[in-house]
Amino acid sequence: MMENDNCYRCGSAGHDTLVRLTKLISIVKCRTCGLARTYPYPSFDFEAQEKYSKFYVDNEKMFRMFARSMIGQISRFKRSGSFLDIGCAVGYLLDEAKGLGFATSGTELNRAAAGITRGKGHTVYAGIIEKSTLPDESFDVISFNHVLEHIEDYKPFLAAAGRLLKRDGIVYCGAPNYDSFMQKLLRRAWYGWGMPDHVWHFTAKTLKEVMEENGFTAERMALNALHYTYSKSLRKNTRATLARIAGAFGVGDQVYGIFGKKVI
């Protein structure tokens, strides 16, 4: 667990509160570099979560929609080669990648989810990539969608991703965007705060900066509002409609980027 006072990114001590989620937990923003985080740092064990894989299976329609959107963006830059999805869950993105002809593999901490993904014919590695013994420059595409916000010590993680990426490879990185209409509308009820497991909170600007500070170059940055799906609930349908409108006007609450590898 890191110290709670100084900013992990820039080392500064000053921060401002963006929103108070509970009496004890807030979202704070560094006054110097602008990176936001949960205060105090949260603790969460994905490996021990029995309901983790069930959540993905029960919401397959939504997550397959996400996966199709992601592979559509990735295929604009790469359409074949070796593909690593970090935090692959039950393998929906790997299914789409395999359908295009990629050689697919993933990493997953949750054993139940990893088992489902292996059962579909994908290679799944246990453990974290910081400790991986895979050869340097193994992958043409590395994706980590809604992963970076969970990783407290993200600098070694990004260094490991850069080591595993080929010189002409690409990274797909996505995260919730708190500089969005839906966050401002819902405030502490916004899904993107991700209690109890989100550590970092990004905007398009800070995500791009963090990636570029850690060995990558931005090829494309964009926003969407795909989290909200239509159902029989009037409340959910109203939120989905508002989110779609916000996304159309460039204030969606998910940010993603396609990044190349900085070659020195």
66-87 confidence digits (pLDDT tens)? 999 999 999 999 999 999 999 9
What confidence tens digit (pLDDT) does each residue in 12-61 have?
989 999 999 999 999 999 999 999 999 998 876 666 667 888 899 999 99
Residues above pLDDT 90, as percent of the chain: 82
What confidence tens digit (pLDDT) does each residue in 212-251 have?
999 999 999 999 988 888 888 899 899 989 999 999 999 9
> What is the structure's pLDDT at 48?
60
160 pLDDT higher than 60: yes
Fold held by 54-261: Rossmann fold (3.40.50)
Q: Read off the pTM.
A: 0.94
Domain ranges of the chain: 1-41, 54-261
- 10 Å Cβ neighbour count for 153? 11
Let me know if 25 is exposed, middle or buried by CB neighbors in 10 A (0-12, 13-18, 19+).
middle
